[in-house]
Structure 1
């Protein structure tokens, strides 16, 4: 494969600056918005990618297989470039266009090579075209993965923020639930609540479902699992925020909440919790 790469390597070694200049000019000319999006970092990105490209050619990497170990410097450079551009707000298409613009100076340089046979030029052009296409596709895949990672991280952060465990009083914790309950969220609530029970030595936990829009069989099962886990830790649980609609739904579904204290509001649940842990709340005369 080293011999097949020779014409491309010679072009990039002997005419690196020309290729780099034509590449950046092609980016700006064919898509001004993409050229503007990369800003002053375009030259540095292009130079780093060309250097990695030459390293792959010198290693004899197979131009037909972008997963060849010889192209690892190129893959690493593309991944860094793609993630950096995604963080700056560039679109996936802009990064892909940036890479594809490399074709024109490479094609032009290979065709003007005075020491290469026409059939070898054609073969080299085809290898370059295939390789650059795969490089562009790699940037798209990397961009997609990076965006998915950001979205997943944001979802996890929002999930944690939406299920805080609050200490209301000595021995009394509360978890205000907002939104739909699913398996992953219930698991997170359970883990956070059980850990806080251990950390604080609390005797009671209030699960407030005022912000839960609907309660179906699945949601009720998640609540029951959480209550069971709390009891296994030696604490007890009160469910608050049971509105008339939710109460009717629970009855119609035949869900058994016997043995679990329920209250219509968080205030009522807190009053019951205070009584259970031995506190008496009295109103002073104003």
Structure 2
């Protein structure tokens, strides 16, 4: 009788773990899909707000999603707003600037807003050329400039 209960508890624990893991994966996929929303604010201008820990974007095909959404919306300019990201690591800073280069190849101008001192320092340490990049301290400044040319 004890062996039967032991086996039942063992199977229950195993199946519960599998269901829990499946739910966790489903939630991660949903978060991943919702985590890189390119929001159209005009016919040609969009905004990509990066919110929360930016390392969450690493495993979510960040670059591909951003480019596909920007192209799908037929944007000529994308504003990437970093003001909602408390920090960003070296690897993600590099990926972000790779996305900017890819968007440039697609003919989409990129503007960065809300750059924190840590992000600027990391970009400079990585040797990223920011001379051609438009930056604004606040999202509203970039939106006003781009929508009221």
Pairwise TM-score range, normalised by the shorter structure: 0.7 to 0.9
Equivalence for 1:235: 108
Give the CA deviation at 1:135.
4.4
**Cα drift, residue 241 of structure 1:** 0.7
**Aligned position for 1:159:** 32
**TM-score (norm. length: structure 1):** 0.45
Unaligned runs of 5+ in 2: none
CA shift, 1:181, in A, is: 1.8
The 3-state SS of whatever aligns with 1:169 is coil
User: Does structure 2 conserve the Cα–Cα contact (< 8 Å) formed by 1:215 and 1:250?
Assistant: no
Between the aligned partners of 2:39 and 2:45, the Cα distance in structure 1 is 9
17, 23, 26: which one aligns with 1:144? 17
Q: Deviations over 1:36-80 (max 9, x none)?
A: xxxxxxxxxxxxxxxxxxxxxxxxxxxxxxxxxxxxxxxxxxxxx
SS of 1:184's equivalent?
A: coil
Matches within 5 A, 1:162-241: 162-182=35-55, 183-185=58-60, 187-188=61-62, 190-241=63-114
Higher strand content, 1 or 2: 2
**Secondary structure at the residue paired with 1:163?**
coil
Report the CA distance shift for 1:198/1:162 in structure 2 as closer, same or farther (over 3 A): closer
**Residues of 2 paired with 1:238 and 1:173: CA distance?**
10
SS in 2 for 1:176: strand
CA–CA distance in 2 between the matches of 1:248 and 1:193? 24
Shift of 1:245: 5.1
Q: CA deviation at 1:249?
A: 5.1
Task: Say whether the 8 Å CA contact 1:168–1:174 is kept in structure 2.
Answer: yes
Instruction: Report deviation, 1:258.
Output: 3.0
Give the Å deviation of 1:166.
Answer: 0.5
Q: 1:138 to 1:260 in 2, by over 3 A?
A: same
Larger relative helix fraction: 1
- 1:219 & 1:193 partners in 2: Cα distance? 14
Query: Any stretches of 5+ residues in structure 1 without a counterpart?
Result: 1-102, 105-128, 281-286
User: Is the Cα contact below 8 Å between 2:93 and 2:122 reproduced in 1?
Assistant: no
Q: TM-score, normalised by structure 2?
A: 0.81
Q: Deviations over 1:215-259 (max 9, x none)?
A: 3322211211211221232212111112345435544x3542232
Distance 1:199 1:245, change over 3 A: closer
- Paired residue total: 146
